[in-house]
Amino acid sequence: MKLSIDKKVAIVGLGYVGLPLLRLLTKKKIACFGFDIDQKKINSLKKGISYISDVGNKDLTILKKNNLFNMSEIKNVSKVNYIIICLPTPLTKNNQPDMSIIINAFNKLKKYIKKNQTIILESTVYPGATRKIFSKYLSAKFNLGKNIFLGYSSERISPGQSDIRKFKYFLENTPKVISGINEKSLNKIYQLYNKIFQTVYKAKSLEIAEMSKLVENSYRSVNIGLANELKTICYKLKIDVNHVITTAGTKPFGFNRFYPGPGVGGHCIPIDPMFFKWIAKGKGIDSKFISLARSTNLNITKWVINQIFKEAPKIKNKKHKKKILLIGLAYKENVNDTRESPSIKIYKSLIKYNNTIDYNDSKIPKIRILNKTLFSTPLNKLKKYDYVIIGTAHDDLKKNLILKNSKKIFDTRGFFKEVDSKKIIKI
C-alpha cells in the first residue's frame, strides 16, 4: 500500500541521539521541531553552540532557531506528522529498567496528539515496552494502526565516530532497523526513514526490534568482558594483551577485535545488558553470560586501581603526597561524555589518599567531581607530576610529548602499545 508522506517531524529529546537525528533530518530538507526539558541546551543550540562532541558548531548552522523548544511548549507537536522520542532509559537503584523519563514526556505530549500522526520510539527499552507505554492510551483515543501509528526504531549512534578518514559508518549510512505495531505503521515509518538513511531494515515486530538492540550491546559487553579478563591473565604472564588481540585479529573470519581498558562507561554498555538480564529473570531464566560480563567489566576498574597501588605504593601513603595527572576523563575516546566513566572512578579512588590529582581532557574543559570544580590542565606541565595515568586516549593526544615529559606512565588503554620504555607500566 502506497502512503503519502508529509515531512514534518518533532524530535523529543536533544541529546546524543536526538540532536544528530535532528541535524540529519534538517540536512535532508525535512521540517523539524526539536524539544528538550533542559533550557540550557535549547539556549546553547540557539546560540549555535553544540554540547555534543559529534556535532560541531558548524553543524548547527542549518537548524532553525525558532523550531527549538523547551518541553513547556510541547503543544507544538500538534503541527507535525511524525513524533520521534529520543530519551534516556537509565536503571533504577535495583538495576531495573527505568521508563519514567519516556512516560513523563509522553504524558506531557499525548493530549496534543492528533489523528494520522506517527509516533516512533528510539530509546533503548526492553521487549514489549513500546506496546506497553503507548498502546493503551492511543487505542482508547484513536484507532491504533489505522488513524494513529506507532513504531520502534533502535538508535545506533556510536559516539566519537565522526572522522570520515578513520571510520566507515556514521548515522546516515548505518543500517536502520524499524518496526511497527502493524504493517501500515511500519510503512509510515519506512517512508520517512527511507528518505534519510541509506539502508532501512524492517523488523518483523516491535519486540524483535527492541530485543535486537539489547542483543547488540550485550554482545559488546560480553566480548569486552572477555578482553578485560584476558588483560588480567596476560598481565600475570608478562604478555602484551593488545598485541595478542591484534595478532589474533589477523584471522579474516570468526574473530572480531575487542580491546581491553580500565572499564566500560557511557549509557549503553553498562546499562543495556541489565535490561536483557531483567527481562530474562522475569521469565525464570538466569542470564549467566550477561551477569559475568557485567561483573568482569566492573571489577576491571578495581583491578586497574589495585595495579596502580602495587606499582606505586607511595600513592597510598598519605605522608607522601604525590602529584598525579589523569589524562582522559571521558568514558571513551573522542567524546565529552563522562557517564559511568572508569576514569572518574579512578580519580575518586586516588584522591582519598591526600594526593594532588589534576586532569587533562581536550573534550572536557571543566567538570565537577566530589563537590569540587576542576579545570583541564595543559600538557605543557607534565614534568611536575610524579605519575601520569592514561584513562582515555583521544585522537589528539601526542604520544611523544607525553613520553618525553613524564616521569612514570600508567597506560590503561594500550595507548603506548607500540612503545617499549621503562617509564611505561601497561595495565
For residue 100, how many other CB atoms are within 10 A of its CB? 12
Strand blocks (E) in 95-239: 118-121, 149-152, 176-180, 200-202
* Gap between the Cα atoms of 312 and 187, Å rounded: 61
Choose the catalytic residue: 32, 86, 234, 268.
Answer: 268
* Gap between the Cα atoms of 119 and 11, Å rounded: 10
**Three-state DSSP class for 187?**
helix
End-to-end, the C-alpha distance of the chain in Å comes to 58
For residue 62, how many other CB atoms are within 10 A of its CB? 11
Question: Do 133 and 99 touch, CB atoms closer than 8 A?
Answer: yes
Active-site residue flag, 86:
no
- Residue-wise burial string across 251-261, b where 16 or more C-beta atoms lie within 10 A, e elsewhere: eeeeeeebbbb
Beta bridge partners of 268: none
What is the 8-class DSSP label of residue 168?
Answer: S
- Up-side HSE of residue 98: CA atoms within 13 Å toward CB? 13
List active site positions: 268
